[in-house]
Amino acid sequence: MKNRGEQEHRKKMKYVLVTGGVVSGLGKGVTASSVGVLLKACGLRVTSIKIDPYLNTDAGTMSPFEHGEVFVLDDGGEVDLDLGNYERFLDIKLTRDHNITTGKVYQASYFINYVINKERKGDYLGKTVQVVPHITDAIQEWIDRVANIPVDGREGPPDVCVIELGGTIGDIESMPFIEALGQFSYRVGPGNFCLIHVSLVPVLNVVGEQPLHENVKAKLSQFCHVPGENIITLYDVPNIWHIPLLLRDQKAHEAILNVLNLSSIAKKPVLDEWTERAELCDMLHQPVRIAMVGKYTGLSDSYLSVLKALLHASVACRRKLTVDWIPASDLEDETKAENPESYRVAWDLLKGADGVLVPGGFGDRGVQGKILAAKYARENKVPYLGICLGMQTAVIEFARSVLGLKDANSEEFDPSTKNPFVVFMPEVLNAVFLSRCVIDIACIFMCLCDAVSTGIDNTYGGDHAAWFKEDIFSCQELQECKTVNPEMVPQLESAGMSFTGKDETGQRMEIIELPDHPFFIGAQFHPEYKSRPGKPSPLFVGLIAAASGQLDAVLENPSSFVHNFLKRESPSCNGPPAKKSHHDAPSSNGRANGFHKDCRNGFVNSIHKTHANGSVNGMCNGHSNGSVTGIYPEYANGMNGVYSDGIYGSSLNGIISNGNGFHH
């Protein structure tokens, strides 16, 4: 039974606000997620809110090149990718209301009536509607309401809400939110609000990020009015799972708990499993190469959840992940004629991969390249996983190559095709806005009547169904406009394609397999959204296991293989070994896999000779101008891009304010 003091403390929600300064993309999202992990490790229940000051209602119509991927929540909300980070780090389920935008505040017609709608109905009783107080009040009401929604599967409100304010302090569009949050800090009162400001602190003559010197901390403390012990340094780490550990080692949790008056309640942070996973990821050295064939390969954040799901699976399989980014259009004959070198590089990467993944996408650009990638994987017995459009292109390829229907296509790409193997869903045809997908949460039922050698029904049915249920039988986000034409299914099945997952009506095909292939699976839904560091998606585990010759070991005991991967020894390869990649040869002036002290000249991980000054997974010092996989030079100064996982450049520092309000 909790004592009275503890009950009183928990009656009031505590808030931690994370803001950013100097430049955008410093890593506020990772910082906010890591703070949440640390507080959760102290025994507190944590929720998260992301504020995006742009005028869009949500991220659903944004190009991936604008803000990275659109993350889809359980309630169908299309939100900023940072909410995906929150869900993965904290293992929680957020709602669309946990992403606040200016568009929602002004007119959130599909949630509740907000400012403009209320004004039209006369709710303000004739008053002049202004940013202050009406917009700022609406923002505060939204935060107060959403913060109390349970997100961890337990009853009752959380203890702490971590709020991330997107953009940079000083942005014009952020000003109403800054004013609202300033008022909110006084509204909730002392001991209930803590501000964390993430800023860039350039230090001359330093390569990469380094811990701040004490004299720099002293100056920051003096001019920002923040105690020296509340200035935290976040610098280069091998992987982002180390960020919560950096915060813990610098006693950030103590500073936060002191500000929130929770020191007497919270426990010492328990991060043993988290630490083991972070250290295991650092020690992995046996590579597995996955070719990612997509449209938006110029920005890895466009496929952030897919990348994370691959990472979770590769760590579970004790393999070091290397992703070869292949623009789908570079595999096409048109590129061969216009840019032979890009064509050659793309095909070399595809042929050198241990597995192929074709993620989702829209539009006809690069579709032929995705079809060619599916054909290569099918004919050469290379493990293949197609997600959404990746499944549809696999079906089209099978119809063209195996059924001999050369004009087989999707209604999206050829509305007049005589053989529409992929069609628009009926409700989409009747929709007003065809440009947006139907977002639905549907339960997928497995068809276990036919034995399939690749493992969906043999492996995940019967005794193993409980494990696969976590990824398939539970509700999955379906971000789709199209489905396999049910009228064509008999032809496909007669030629050897199995439909092992369908919706409850049996009319929508959700999972395809090829029984005579080591691992060839397509999923119409998006399993990447359900993957967690400690609970990797089974479909991704299957891909990585097949690509690294461990599929038999997974099939023998899938649940133990995945959930106990931190405790077991490195698995033996019970299946055929992954084929030798022609990229594995060491570079001429630096060791492959980026372990050489100075990899400036030559191949980095033997991928491209033009991508010098980079290291794979940040294993080399002095690689301020490289990316994790070293594929594209435009990923300079960052691990998978500056915005997300790693922050390469000058020092990134979290400055924790000890009061209510803001210190500029």
* Residues 53 and 177: beta-carbon distance below 8 Å: yes
Distance CA 425, CA 482 (A): 5
Distance CA 79, CA 87 (A): 12
How many angstroms separate the Cα of 410 from the Cα of each of 24, 296, 368, 474?
40, 21, 12, 28
Name the residue among 448, 452, 498, 504 with its Cα closest to residue 475.
504
Query: End-to-end distance of the chain based on CA atoms, in angstroms?
Result: 43
Reply yes or no on whether 67 is catalytic. Answer: no
* Residues 656 and 252: beta-carbon distance below 8 Å: yes
Residue of 87, 528, 599, 611 marked catalytic = 528
Q: Give the DSSP letter of residue 357.
A: E
Residue 8 burial (10 A CB sphere; 0-12, 13-18, 19+): exposed
Distance CA 111, CA 79 (A): 14
**Residue with token string 């990472």:** 311
Reply yes or no on whether 620 is catalytic. Answer: no
199 forms bridges with which residues in the sheet? 653
Longest dimension (CA), the chain: 76
Helix (H) or strand (E) holding 30: helix 28-41
Reply yes or no on whether 213 is catalytic. Answer: no
The Cβ of residue 610 has, within 10 Å, a number of other Cβ atoms equal to 10
Helix (H) or strand (E) holding 441: strand 438-442
* Residues 30 and 243: beta-carbon distance below 8 Å: yes
Name the residue among 643, 663, 626 with its Cα closest to residue 85.
643
Distance CA 344, CA 138 (A): 55
CA 403 to chain centre: 37
**Which residues contact residue 557 at a Cβ distance below 8 angstroms, ignoring those fewer than 6 apart?**
none
Distance CA 581, CA 11 (A): 58
Residue of 388, 481, 599, 620 marked catalytic = 388
Residue of 9, 134, 253, 526 marked catalytic = 526
**Which residues contact residue 249 at a Cβ distance below 8 angstroms, ignoring those fewer than 6 apart?**
none
Active site residues: 388, 526, 528
